[in-house]
Structure 1
């Protein structure tokens, strides 16, 4: 299934005899790719059978930019969850961080709590209520808050304290603090999926002196990497001897157990490349791009160390971590290897798209 292009997967899933059994088996990122290819506005039938982990990963991967959620993407994903059946919608909402739900509500509605000691109090104009206590009003004219009404109704009926917490949060909580906490939870989950923080990923491009590039720790065992859960479908690396990258040609000659460890070490490095280079990790094209760049610069480092130390390339990959080989390769041509600088909206940009200093 995951070998098929993301745009074709929906049709294949629909043809499956038991899609409700197939959908939960998709790796988290692959589920995200598939839902985006279908279109979030049409993905309710996929979300109907998604696991809570898949739902959370979709927002972790796609609804953020830097340290903050993207309002339009957050709206789109939560609205899509709300469009699923009652059980699936409730599971999806309950799986998300409360701070993220509060942020979603904050950007769409204002909330007032009916006071107990003010007989003259009147509900806000256009306000809606489910319990006669909390009243909410759309912040923007013409905003259809049907998804919000549905979410709140489901929570009110099945999880009142979550409902109460969300509406109290809109009234009293500070959005910047919610962003900070939601970001903290997201970072931890992404690390579990193999995506490091940007600061950690940027160590790939750290400077090494010519002497440091050739140092080998005799006690290091870089091919003792344990298997870990992959959020994307990578059946294997191109290990043929005709591969354009010397790394893959070298891996082809290793023992099966070493190749397996090298596979996970390589994927870890490719994930660092994706994060450091500001690649969109929810984009189906990011994985092959990150793999190609990781292989290219690891190969440069591998060839350099083998040549300068008089070792075979197999000896080098057995003694030097792959992320260190990437760093060595990147140091050999830093201008070509370094990640592109993201353009800040406040930057002056010339006609060619280059940032003007």
Structure 2
């Protein structure tokens, strides 16, 4: 009997995980209101919410609206809470205290008891650092008059007298009242939860070393985000370093297995936004769902996150993420076309490209594609430096609207394709080898005309 149960258990677990995956995918395709109802009506909402990758959950609550997502936040796991703080409260290497206030207050409203436990079990130094930045504490001697502490001090125990600092960020963030309300409720709940622990915290937070604590918090945050592709800027920017196909092929190939042994599911949002019809998306469609497909899905999500870090953006809305996905997808497709062309293969040979995305890291294929845009930029800059029109002191507008648009797109820091509102925007990311070839052709015409003028 026991052997039968043990034999069946792995299958039932796998089935449950698969059902959660299907349900997640369904929910992410719904409107915000319907997604919220679908989660809350699910027979196991805790399990469903916990099955969401942190990044998908983050976009989900922003899509629904933070205030409307309090019930979802109460169901969320600690790692999902932690991811939200990792993304929201930092600007470069600085913790923005008003943003800490905002999110701790939201979590307190979502589940007060849970926040207290999270603080005591996992986030003691982090919240003690926050307390140090926001309040001072005086300890009353047994024969001391409380009025000696002055105005603004209050106490829960007639021993520790607390005063909140005037908020130096209030003129910018306008959350001084929210901070005072949060701290009052948080400390009151902490004292009610365990009075001895409350008194211990009142002693401990005053000896926190701010610089060391913030530096360590930043280091741990970077480690957690790096696992998802969010690298520090000086590392992430390497994604824009061009790579020639010949160099790519000499580098170590990636290892992929048929069985996906990752501990957590891959984010679905980036992959679900792959709506472009190009060589990369068509190549993905030839790969059966399963271990390899999910590894590519996770790799693509990580690459999108690296580009977000390199571009120094905070992405909260699905439309913002969609722009990043489109950019990454486009340059991977250009890279695949470039690799196929380099091997004298049909650039639209889908099966060959499907092999390439399993063989080479997507980040390197992206760099091979982006390298073509950079080569055009460098060519334009080199020409401009010694051009006839530059020596004559003429403005770029000399070349007329069409040529000005193409040249202008190449001369900015990160080159863009001059779309001229064909798809609704004046500039966009390069999306195909045709975009590269069209721009190269126009640039060649400009250079040839400039050389002709130089001879006159």
Task: Report the TM-score when normalising by structure 2.
Answer: 0.62
Q: 1:328 aligns with which of 368, 372, 380?
A: 368
CA distance in 2, matches of 1:200, 1:179: 21
- Pair 1:250–1:71, CA change in 2 (3 A): same
CA distance in 2, matches of 1:107, 1:155: 18
CA distance in 2, matches of 1:27, 1:258: 18
Structure 2 SS opposite 1:146: helix
CA distance in 2, matches of 1:171, 1:298: 51
Q: 1:46 aligns with which of 56, 69, 72?
A: 72
- Pair 1:185–1:82, CA change in 2 (3 A): same
Aligned partners of 1:83 and 1:147 also within 8 Å: no
Aligned partners of 1:298 and 1:325 also within 8 Å: yes
State whether structure 2 residue 239 is matched by structure 1 residue 204.
yes
- Residue 172 of structure 1 is matched in structure 2 by 207
Structure 2 SS opposite 1:333: helix
- Residue 346 of structure 1 is matched in structure 2 by none
Moved more, 7-16 or 289-298: 7-16
- Pair 1:301–1:227, CA change in 2 (3 A): farther
Higher helix proportion: 2
Structure 1 SS opposite 2:71: helix
State whether structure 2 residue 278 is matched by structure 1 residue 252.
no
Following superposition, the deviation at residue 281 of structure 1 comes to: 3.9
- Pair 1:261–1:20, CA change in 2 (3 A): closer
Structure number with larger C-alpha Rg: 2
Aligned partners of 1:103 and 1:175 also within 8 Å: yes
Q: 2:319 aligns with which of 285, 290, 296?
A: 285
- Residue 349 of structure 1 is matched in structure 2 by none
State whether structure 2 residue 335 is matched by structure 1 residue 296.
no
- Residue 152 of structure 2 is matched in structure 1 by 126
Following superposition, the deviation at residue 237 of structure 1 comes to: 5.5
Aligned partners of 1:194 and 1:271 also within 8 Å: yes
Q: 1:269 aligns with which of 295, 299, 303?
A: 303
- What is the root-mean-square deviation of aligned Cα atoms in Å? 3.6
- Pair 1:180–1:235, CA change in 2 (3 A): closer
Moved more, 93-102 or 243-252: 93-102
- Residues 336-347 of structure 1 mapped to structure 2, 5 A cutoff: none
- Pair 1:265–1:81, CA change in 2 (3 A): closer
CA distance in 2, matches of 1:297, 1:202: 15
Which structure 1 segments of 5+ residues have no match? 342-357
State whether structure 2 residue 383 is matched by structure 1 residue 319.
no
Q: Which has the higher contact order (CA 8 A, sep 6+)?
A: 1
Aligned partners of 2:239 and 2:367 also within 8 Å: yes
- Pair 1:127–1:8, CA change in 2 (3 A): farther
State whether structure 2 residue 140 is matched by structure 1 residue 100.
no
Task: Report the TM-score when normalising by structure 1.
Answer: 0.77
Following superposition, the deviation at residue 297 of structure 1 comes to: 0.7
Structure 1 SS opposite 2:106: helix
- Residue 250 of structure 2 is matched in structure 1 by 217
- Residue 355 of structure 1 is matched in structure 2 by none
Structure 1 SS opposite 2:253: coil
Structure 2 SS opposite 1:110: strand
CA distance in 2, matches of 1:281, 1:328: 25
- Residue 32 of structure 1 is matched in structure 2 by 58
CA distance in 2, matches of 1:314, 1:22: 32
Aligned partners of 1:270 and 1:294 also within 8 Å: yes
Structure 2 SS opposite 1:136: strand
Following superposition, the deviation at residue 308 of structure 1 comes to: 1.1
CA distance in 1, matches of 2:363, 2:50: 32
Following superposition, the deviation at residue 264 of structure 1 comes to: 2.7
Following superposition, the deviation at residue 165 of structure 1 comes to: 5.6
Moved more, 318-327 or 25-34: 25-34
- Pair 1:284–1:114, CA change in 2 (3 A): farther
Which structure 2 segments of 5+ residues have no match? 1-26, 168-175, 346-351, 378-408, 416-456
Aligned partners of 2:49 and 2:75 also within 8 Å: yes
